[in-house]
Structure 1
């Protein structure tokens, strides 16, 4: 039979087929091949004498390390507009990670009642200018939750974002229960605490959402300098018009991306972040 792993705990994997769940263990061959089943994997399995065994893992579209999950198609990046304070650079790091994995991205601005209408509109305009959909929410009051639910259909979705922005509250509101335990916000650090111990996929609205703390690492050291530009979708319209096909959009002459920045067709702050990140990757490679 074929199904999708929706939960994994202590070497047991729970595989969903239609409305049924089968408890399975992985065959030893996976250990020899240094391959472990992940939540989100589509697998072939067999049931023998009432015990399930995973026989094969079908090809993955992508895999994440933290959380350990495969075949994610969509990330909803949650940022509070205040408390904790909004950071454009931090948002850009999350965007790079999602783009590097080929995920569809939606940005959710939470706690919108904590800033003025003008400040909120400024943040929305910035995100719209780089081509991403925005959802505004007040998760504790339930505002914006239905709009988030509408985006889950036919997707495996993970929530990600900094600590304390309301990811757990949003997930709990989506599911109508406390799927993820939440703790108090540290008054000193303004960061959230949660006690999720494993990743689990929960079916809702014709898709799956991960009951998971989301990305806990923003390391982008594995991204090649040549691939970084692909993590900035606003470059796509221009990069084929550069003088050189190998243009890195930094110091090369005849760069259409730099021209677009000068014409305010590409956000300058985003471009400056690209250059800074590109130089960090180059310096890291040279140091190694």
Structure 2
């Protein structure tokens, strides 16, 4: 008899599957045809499996409703994009590239501005600017593991959803998970004093069931984001505030140097953030060059 489960973790040819009905976690392996066809499941996949003694054998991988490219996860309800102004200081360009990938995958983004207890002086002005700009586009929650600010609000966003954390190494993804669900005990490390960069503590994507409802994927952090596959003419659709202003003189306007561009007018009027538009231009140049 075939059972259905969700892939919790995948390592080479072995995977952990959580049965959808019973909640039991079982170690499974793939049929040989998956290797021949070069098909591999990813975390979040719904699979059909049969039991062979105390092991499981994956028979099929069901069609995905969506897939996030990096971190590679299937059937996601929301991507929790974690940003920090300090320890580490994350470049807005890198963060906007992450949001581009989320938009490309047609997924919902929740922005978490973490480690706000570290901010002082001019950094608080940066925080106000960040919240002002991004809260007009996405839901934004400011959090601190130390003071517990924003943690209960964050938990509400996780209930009854499959969420995936995404962000640079060191922004505190694992620490946030430990805070919203004590008992997980994910490994964490301090920021490198030499580089002011995060150290990788999560080595592979893993699905975690939260005690108050919902599933979350803790994923390895990253130091750069590859967007080579994006076509320049499609980039404008991955910046929501640009995509919704499509009243330019030319329908195929890329909002670079075309005449009659409504988007450039909105930037000059302050209705579209200059920093977001400048990052759009930078990303456009990068994908054009590649």
Q: TM-score, normalised by structure 2?
A: 0.88
Q: Report how many aligned residue pairs link the two structures.
A: 282
Inter-partner Cα distance in structure 2 for 1:20 and 1:168: 24
Match for 1:4 among 6, 10, 13? 6
Q: Which residue of 1 aligns with 2:163?
A: 157
Choose from 137, 141, 153 the match for 2:143.
Answer: 137
Distance 1:68 1:180, change over 3 A: farther
Corresponding residue number in structure 2 for 1:128? 135
Per-residue CA deviation, residues 64-93 of structure 1 (Å, 9 max, x unaligned), is: 455442222312122222232353222212
> In the alignment, which residue of structure 2 is the partner of 1:24?
28
Whether the 8 Å CA contact 1:66–1:217 is kept in 2: the answer is: no
Query: For 1:59 and 1:163, how far apart are their aligned partners in 2?
Result: 31
1:213 equivalent in alignment to 2:220: yes
Name the counterpart of 1:34. 38
User: Do the aligned residues in 2 keep the contact of 1:181 with 1:194 (CA within 8 Å)?
Assistant: no
Deviation at 1:125, TM superposition (A): 0.8
Query: Is the 8 Å Cα contact of residues 94 and 225 (structure 2) preserved in structure 1?
Result: no
Root mean square deviation, CA, Å: 2.1
C-alpha deviation, 1:173, in angstroms: 0.9
Mapped partners of 1:66, 1:246: distance in 2: 29
Query: Residues 88 and 216 of structure 1: is their aligned pair in 2 closer, same or farther, counting only changes over 3 Å?
Result: closer
2:241 is aligned, of 234, 238, 248, to: 234
> Structure 1 residues 26-35 or 15-24, which shifts more?
15-24
1:274 aligns with 2:280: yes
Name whichever of 190-199 and 215-224 sits farther off.
190-199
Partners of 1:27 and 1:54 within 8 A in 2: yes
Name 1:14's counterpart in structure 2: 16
Q: 1:99 to 1:216 in 2, by over 3 A?
A: farther
What is the DSSP-based 3-state SS (H/G/I as helix, E as strand, rest coil) of the residue aligned with 1:213? coil
Structure 1 residue 58: Cα displacement: 1.0
Give SS of 1:13's match.
strand
Give structure 1 stretches of 5+ with no counterpart.
none
Q: Which runs of 5+ in 2 are unaligned?
A: none
